[in-house]
A and B are shown apart, each in its own frame.
Chain A
């Protein structure tokens, strides 16, 4: 997998040779500084929102905004995973908030944690690892691996079952790559796009340069929301795939009828 990432990063490498030829983005400490910055913004707004919990009615507007985010994520979890999906709301909402805030940081700065492939791969590993853990917890360790082997076939079909098992294991590993590459490609691609548009506008009126990349702001704002949504949505889907119970009780919860606005 590291070979794939290295070859992929070679596309973005600007300078050949040297020890860190394939590395892109800020250094380790740059990433940590930006991640700390992101967490600082997130915790500041969360603490403002939490200070409003003392009132009987939410008068603090940040409390109501975070309540809306919570309701949105909760309706998503309950719609996709099922009635037992409310347990996963803290996990999903953490991903949503971190990705959303760091994408917003990426609108204003040249670098952001989600534009670093290592950071995204770490988040994807956490997500998929938790999915495996939940699958083992709800189906048992053997049941979880039996899940990979596909439907129950006859004794003569053991080679087919073995192949299905191997392919399922590979696709489970590829999920990490796909989650991280999607986020990285979208955010970093947006940055490259803005750089290209700005290059078009250099020295356009005499010595004056125009930041044409500015006009890409609407589509970048759309990307910010959609990518944060897709990461948490896909985590929900993966959880629902492994914790799917056949004897699902068809209870009519009040929240499951809530309209989902994306």
Chain B
């Protein structure tokens, strides 16, 4: 049972992070198409945002097993 919960939780985290990454890519691409001269700055900010969103998934992967063991 614990294993199933773990899988569902990590899958949900992956779903949310995928949506977030897609939104970042979408808006960055729109901004780049609108203003090609701002590509450098947009890429920098986009990478920072990508890093922070990605971290949420990594934190989930690292914290969920530990917290499940703690609540058992």
Contact = CB atoms under 8 A, between A and B. Distances in A.
Contacts of A204: none
Contacts of B40: 79, 259-262
A8 interface: yes
B55 A230 contact: no
Contact of B65 (A7, A76, A229, A259): A7
Interface in A1-39: 3-4, 6-8, 10-11
A230 B66 contact: no
Interface residues of B, number: 21
DSSP majority for the B interface?
helix
Interface in A226-251: 226, 229-230, 233-234, 237
Interface residues of A, number: 25
Interface of A: 3-4, 6-8, 10-11, 76, 79-80, 178, 181-182, 185-186, 226, 229-230, 233-234, 237, 259-262
Which 8 A-B residue pairings sit nearest by Cβ, starting from the closest?
A7-B66, A8-B62, A260-B40, A185-B58, A262-B43, A230-B51, A11-B65, A181-B58
Interface of B: 39-41, 43-44, 47-48, 50-51, 54-55, 58-59, 61-63, 65-67, 69-70
